[in-house]
Amino acid sequence: MAIRDDVISGMSDARKQMLSDEERLNWLRLIRSDNVGPVTFHDLLNHFGNASDAIDALPDLSSRGGRRRFSVYPAEKAQSELEEATRWGASLAAHGEPAYPSRLARIDAPPPLIYVKGETGLLAKPIVAIVGARNASAIGQKFTRTIARDLGAQGFVIASGLARGIDTAAHIAALDAGTVSVLAGGINSIYPPENEELHQKIGTQGVLVSEMPFGYRQRGQDFPRRNRIIAGVCAGVIVVEAAKRSGSLITARLAGEMGREVFAVPGNPLDPRAAGANALLRDGAGLAVCADDVIQTLKPILGQEFAGGPAPMPNREDLPPTPAEIDEPDRAQVLSALGTSPVDIDELVRATNLSVRQVQIALLELDLAGRLQRHGNQMVSLAGGEGAD
């Protein structure tokens, strides 16, 4: 049975927000400033209520965390980036806006801003990600094309990462029905080079997605961030072929942590490219030998999963008054309780006997100073080799 387009309507109209041009510019300046990632961005916005006040506070917060010089992203650079996006036919979707994927909005610390180009309405449809080996086998690519077409015929959009092998096969097969390509580099950064034509087709027939600046060339550490978005936009992930240590398994792990359905295609146990998928099956992933295996699992989930929407970003007047700083002894307590081993933030609250807000402010200062490492799932540690004496 095909999944209707109206099964997933995303956010209700009452909860959708649009940023003003000034707010959009300030959001971009904030997320592009030194040491500001998605977690820090949302903490800053929740604390100060708007990006403008958060930007003004960045140098002082960083200084209290132990960093003397802090670089705030210049307004003129942010404006230039937005103008370049317009020239490329791309737009910047903010968390809480209608164009922002509703599933992605529900993950822990979603990207505040993503660039989108193409048929952006595809992001509101039910999405299944298909990922796998770059050096995929011929049979693996054939299976990928088959299941991508079959899922597309039943109303699903196919997401992947535009890599060689399985990703490429999935995108090509899904072009007519709808495909989403999440990029590790900027939206105008074509990688691999041989996928230039496919990149262009997806930018018109499908939709390109990236959280990176225009012109940014992807690096190795950027691919896990891309994989996080792939997992975030979809209802389920299918791993076709994957070695024991591969980016596809990172996507599958992230998807599982987000509560997405994880499927794997069984492979020859003598083929190293099947080791990762077979291990997923051994550990409880859903078996995917045809599109119906996926549809029957996802259909009841899609009928109830997206009735609500992400909470709107706070306005300053909605926030209770909170202290903008903490005392030095309190800050020292948090620093003393931290070490190089990850610890849960709730445990820091118990260990220091401080309020959650006080601990969060201390962590925010350390983060902006480049002294904190975040590990996901509310786990943090001191960055580098820094530790308590």
Indicate whether 146 and 177 sit together in one domain.
yes
Side-chain half-sphere of 50: how many Cα atoms within 13 Å? Answer: 13
pLDDT the model gives residue 238: 98
Tell me whether residue 18 is in a domain: no
Residues 6+ apart with CB under 8 A from 270: none
pLDDT at res. 386? 53
Structure confidence by residue, pLDDT tens digits, 62-101: 888 887 778 899 999 999 999 999 999 999 999 999 999 9
Please tell me whether residue 207 adopts helix, strand or coil conformation: strand
Same domain membership, residue 250 and residue 183: yes
* Residue 366 counted as domain residue: yes
Same domain? 336 vs 279: no
pLDDT at residue number 133: 95
Q: Which amino acid is at 260?
A: R
Residue 240 has pLDDT above 50, yes or no: yes
Which pLDDT value is given to residue 288? 97
Question: 192 and 161 in one domain?
Answer: yes
Domain co-membership, 160 together with 124? yes
Q: Are 232 and 328 contained in the same domain? A: no
Summarize the confidence of residues 208-235 as an average pLDDT.
94
Residue 60 resides in a domain: no
Contact 323, 27 (CB under 8 A): no
Q: Is 92 helix (H, G, I), strand (E, B) or coil?
A: strand
Res 13: pLDDT: 40
**Rounded Cα distance, 247 and 230, in Å:** 11
- For 345, the token pair is 């933030």
Rounded mean pLDDT of 13-27?
Answer: 79
Query: 130 in helix, strand or coil?
Result: strand
Nearest 5°: the CA angle 114, 120, 122 is 115
From residue 88, alpha-carbon distances to 24, 83, 203 in Å are 18, 9, 10
User: Is pLDDT of 47 > 70?
Assistant: yes
Each residue of 271-328: pLDDT tens digit?
Answer: 999 999 999 999 999 999 999 999 999 998 887 544 444 445 544 444 444 445 678 8
pLDDT for position 358: 87
Mean pLDDT of 335-347: 88
Q: Tell whether 165 is covered by a domain.
A: yes
Mean pLDDT of 252-270: 95
Residue 5 pLDDT > 70? no
Looking at the structure, tell me whether residues 293 and 186 fall in a common domain.
yes
Max mean pLDDT among 34-38, 47-51, 137-141, 302-306 falls in 137-141
Tell me, yes or no, whether 138 and 234 share the same domain: yes
Interatomic CA distance for residues 100 and 24, integer angstroms: 14
Residue 45 lies in a domain: no
**Residue 246 resides in a domain:** yes
Same domain, residue pair 332 and 273: no
**Is residue 208 domain-shared with residue 348, that is, in the same domain?**
no
Question: Do 289 and 336 have their domain in common?
Answer: no
Last residue of a domain, one of 269, 302, 335: 302
Contact 138, 146 (CB under 8 A): no
Region of poorest pLDDT, from 4-18, 69-83, 241-255, 289-303:
4-18
Angle among Cα 69, 70, 72 to the nearest 5 degrees reads: 150
Residue % of the chain over a pLDDT of 70: 89
d(CA 82, CA 76): 10
Instruction: Look at residue 204 in the predicted model and tell me its pLDDT.
Output: 96
Which of helix, strand or coil describes residue 306? coil
CATH code of the domain in which 221 resides = 3.40.50.450
Amino acid (1-letter code) at residue 289: V
pLDDT exceeds 90 at position 261: yes
The range of the structural domain enclosing residue 332 comes to: 323-382
Q: Is residue 148 domain-resident?
A: yes
What predicted TM-score, i.e. pTM, was given to this entire model? 0.84
Neighbours of 341 (CB within 10 A): 9
Q: What percent of the chain has pLDDT over 90?
A: 65
Question: Are 231 and 373 contained in the same domain?
Answer: no
Looking up residue 330, the CATH number of its domain turns out to be 1.10.10.10
What integer pLDDT is reported at residue 174 of this predicted model? 98
Overall domain count for the chain: 2
Choice between 100 and 363, residue whose per-residue pLDDT is larger: 100
Q: What would the two tokens of residue 319 be?
A: 């926030």
Q: Residue 316 has what pLDDT?
A: 42
Residue 78 lies in a domain: no
More confident residue, 59 or 7: 59
Mean pLDDT of the residues in the chain = 87
